[in-house]
Chain A
Amino acid sequence: KNEVEQSPQNLTAQEGEFITINCSYSVGISALHWLQQHPGGGIVSLFMLSSGKKKHGRLIATINIQEKHSSLHITASHPRDSAVYICAVRWETSGSRLTFGEGTQLTVNP
């Protein structure tokens, strides 16, 4: 069964800390997405990547295709970063469909 696993499930940090959220998947993918879901439920797409690294502001996403692993890093974390971060993959064999991880709940305390 094709699976996406995120760790940790829950993460609490102090403002200013460096945050890392991990995503592992089971078989080959054509793309991996990182999404952010705020408490109200709305979802924003942060990154789509198939290799290497992408950076946007304080957010950095990396992917290691050989190890089937991606990380989302947040530098200088802030309470407004508190949200659920979701990893989603598009399998090589599934066309356009995405499979989503369960999400990582991040809480950043002031």
Chain B
Amino acid sequence: DGGITQSPKYLFRKEGQNVTLSCEQNLNHDAMYWYRQDPGQGLRLIYYSQIVNDFQKGDIAEGYSVSREKKESFPLTVTSAQKNPTAFYLCASSIRLAETQYFGPGTRLLVL
């Protein structure tokens, strides 16, 4: 089955800790995206990648970092610089930029 997987489903972070959220796709898509969803707000773009070894900041990149070493994988690290990390994080991919995006199941990050 082709699709996008995100792990873990729930993640807990302690103060001052970096955590990494996994996103993997086997759809052979070039473009991948990370979004953050907060209650009462629309999804906001954190980072996106058009192709392997390339990525661009989105609207709320501060406190986050990404890598795109493989086409299938686009991990997101939430650093200690992100002061309000509690949110639902969604990864998506598309065959190329501006095409229909396919979303993963999401990771809910909670700060202890």
Contacts and interface: CB of A to CB of B under 8 A. Distances in A.
Interface of A: 4, 30-31, 33, 35, 40-45, 48, 86, 88, 90, 95-103
A42 to B, nearest CB: 5
Given A33-B100, A41-B105, A43-B103, A102 B42 contact: yes
A41 B98 contact: no
Contacts of A42: 103-106
5 contacts: A4-B42, A41-B108, A42-B103, A86-B42, A100-B43
A95 B106 CA distance: 25
B76 interface: no
Contact of A99 (B42, B48, B103): B42
Contacts, number: 53
Contacts of B59: 97
A99 B44 CA distance: 7
A106 B58 CA distance: 29
Q: 9 closest A-B pairs (Cβ-Cβ)?
A: A100-B42, A96-B97, A43-B103, A96-B98, A41-B106, A100-B43, A42-B105, A102-B42, A45-B100
A48 B105 contact: no
B102 interface: yes
Interface of B: 31, 40-45, 48, 58-59, 88, 90, 92, 97-98, 100-106, 108
A42 B89 CA distance: 11
Nearest to B102: A45
Contacts of B44: 100
Given A4-B42, A103-B42, A41 B100 contact: no
Contacts of A100: 42-44
Nearest to B39: A102
